[in-house]
């Protein structure tokens, strides 16, 4: 009898110990899940990353700040280069060909055209607020805006140039030599300095003070009743689990088709492997950077391949494949109304 009671007591305490261990494991996973993305050498992220970790703000989204400490001379020279086709091999394509600064920072086509009308592989994301993304490009292959600049300049489907060619042209320009010398202690234009002025200009392209930002800061009248309801739906269905932080996204990767097989329904879209091409890991197949939803109403078409023309359809498909829910048309329209409130004001540098 005592032996039986001993065994029962041992099982009971073993169960308790296992339960405590399980709770510790779950707690550890929750802590790790909430650790913010690693901030490396991106100045914008270093300056503003605290906003994403603001423990006083109970909302998953935080207000977008205006940058106030950028060198105006670098911003001005960066703007000049951003709009100058001199960076391309045949002087036909400028950054603004794909990133229209007067039209949402994108080009509103499925995929962009480069020199000699070469067709790109992915949809062009907006350049606005891009300094707040913790990785650049859809596959996140670089960490900073400085590194990102090499992509379009050297890509044969975009600008099709080389740094040797770019520097030869810039150093032959009296305007550029004089302006770079005014900022840097160098007699010649360098690759590092070109990257620096362009990335500084890009960090100035912040569309802050949206209606939603005003509401977050305490203006209860900044949003309509319908927009507030759309935000509640956005949170309750779990959209904010991926689209959160200062940029309402741009700080994690996710596979398309969490709850349903997206590529079974759309096999023609399956050729782009996303992060898999970078990592070689099976878990990264068809995984892409979660895009920012700021100004999303201005940046159609949607998805990495530009395959979705309207915001209504993008919401519908995301709900189906990423959340496993079917939204009514009324719910979609209400969430869309909320997303319209994320459109910010024109950056100061463009006024």
Quick one: which of 134, 63, 70 has its CA closest to 344? 63
The tokens for 337 are 């109304």
Quick one: which of 301, 249, 251, 302 has its CA closest to 36? 251
Cα separation of the two ends of the chain = 87
Is 304 within 8 Å of 262 (Cβ atoms)? Answer: no
Q: Indicate the helix (H) or strand (E) that contains 144.
A: none
The verdict on whether omega for the bond into residue 274 sits within 30 degrees of 0, i.e. cis, is no
Site of tokens 């496993």 = 324
Q: Tell me how far CA of residue 11 lies from CA of 4, 49, 68, in angstroms.
A: 11, 48, 63
d(CA 152, CA 148) in angstroms, rounded, equals 8
Q: At what angle do helices 72-82 and 174-183 cross, to 10 degrees?
A: 150
Catalytic entry in 146, 158, 287, 331 = 158
The residues with which 91 forms a beta bridge, in sequence order, are: none
Q: What is the 3-state secondary structure (H, E, C) of 59-102?
A: CCECCCCCCCCCCHHHHHHHHHHHCCHHHCCCCCCCHHHHCCCC
> 158 an active-site residue?
yes
Q: DSSP per residue over 156-210, as a string?
A: TTTT---HHHHHHHHHT-HHHHHHHHHHSS-SS--HHHHHHHHHHHHHT------
The residues annotated with a catalytic role in the active site are 158
């Amino acid at each position: 009898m005592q032996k039986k009671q001993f065994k029962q007591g041992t099982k009971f305490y073993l169960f308790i110990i296992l339960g405590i261990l399980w709770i510790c494991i779950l707690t550890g996973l929750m802590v790790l899940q909430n650790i913010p993305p690693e901030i490396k050498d991106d100045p914008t992220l270093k300056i503003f990353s605290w906003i994403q970790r603001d423990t006083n703000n109970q909302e998953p989204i935080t207000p977008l700040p205006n940058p106030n400490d950028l060198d105006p001379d670098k911003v001005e020279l960066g703007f000049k280069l951003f709009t100058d086709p001199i960076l391309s091999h045949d002087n036909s394509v400028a950054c603004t060909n794909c990133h229209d600064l007067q039209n949402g920072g994108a080009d509103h086509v499925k995929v962009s055209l480069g020199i000699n009308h070469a067709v790109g592989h992915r949809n062009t994301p907006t350049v606005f607020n891009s300094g707040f993304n913790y990785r650049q490009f859809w596959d996140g292959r670089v960490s900073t805006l400085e590194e990102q600049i090499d992509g379009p300049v050297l890509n044969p489907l975009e600008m099709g140039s080389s740094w040797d060619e770019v520097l030869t042209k810039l150093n032959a320009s009296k305007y550029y030599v004089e302006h770079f010398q005014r900022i840097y202690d160098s007699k010649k234009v360098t690759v590092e300095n070109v990257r620096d002025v362009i990335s500084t200009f890009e960090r100035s392209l912040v569309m802050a003070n949206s209606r939603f930002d005003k509401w977050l800061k305490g203006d209860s009248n900044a949003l309509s009743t319908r927009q507030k309801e759309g935000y509640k739906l956005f949170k309750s269905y779990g959209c904010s689990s991926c689209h959160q932080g200062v940029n309402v996204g741009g700080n994690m990767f996710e596979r398309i088709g969490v709850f349903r097989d997206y590529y079974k329904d759309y096999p023609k879209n399956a050729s782009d492997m996303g992060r898999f091409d970078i990592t070689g890991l099976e878990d990264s197949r068809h995984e892409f950077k979660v895009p920012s939803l700021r100004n999303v109403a201005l940046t159609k078409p949607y998805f990495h391949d530009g395959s979705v023309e309207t915001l209504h359809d993008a919401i519908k498909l995301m709900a189906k494949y990423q959340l496993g829910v079917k939204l009514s048309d009324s719910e979609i329209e209400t969430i869309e109304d909320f997303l319209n409130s994320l459109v910010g004001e024109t950056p100061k540098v463009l006024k």
